[in-house]
Amino acid sequence: MLKHRGFPGRLPGTDFQFTIRRANPKGVTPLTRRERFRDRKPADRRADAGFIQALWEHFGDQPFERGNLDAGRLSWLFGREVVPAEDPFDSQSYEALLVLDVNAAKAAFPEVFSDGEGRS
């Protein structure tokens, strides 16, 4: 399992996890699209935005390996802002390639891209 060096382990000041420490000995947690409802807590929305910002700053619009990125956090974005970068896609592989859909991410999280920092 690839460990993304320099990628934040969690949202600062919270327990919202962005990475895992080691591979799951019981098997890889599959990525599944989780429905985001309008009544989600503000803290959950901040965690999603923080993860999108970390993905943007670390990978930009380039494909990246799933590696040690948290499956739960990825699943909140999977199929919308984070999409498969290969076909066929194995949702149960640490080596699976993903890519940030920048247009979808900008539409869903404009605050991440509005400050002029990072890549544009």
* Lookup: tokens for 54: 């970390």
Residue 112's contacts (CB-CB under 8 Å, 6 or more residues apart) are 49, 52, 53, 56, 105, 106
Question: For residues 118 and 5, which has the higher predicted lDDT (pLDDT)?
Answer: 5
pLDDT tens by residue, 15-66: 899 998 888 888 889 999 999 888 888 889 999 999 999 999 999 999 999 9
Report the predicted TM-score, pTM, of the whole model to 2 decimal places: 0.87
Work out the pLDDT band at 115, boundaries 50, 70, 90: low
Angle at 22 between CA 65 and CA 60, to 5 degrees: 25
The C-alpha atoms of residue 80 and residue 62 are separated, in whole angstroms, by 16
pLDDT of residue 116: 53
Containing 58, the helix (H) or strand (E) segment is helix 42-59
* Lookup: tokens for 25: 């000995």
pLDDT of residue 120: 44
At 64, give phi and psi (nearest 5°).
-140, 155
pLDDT of residue 22: 85
Mean pLDDT for 56-81 is: 94
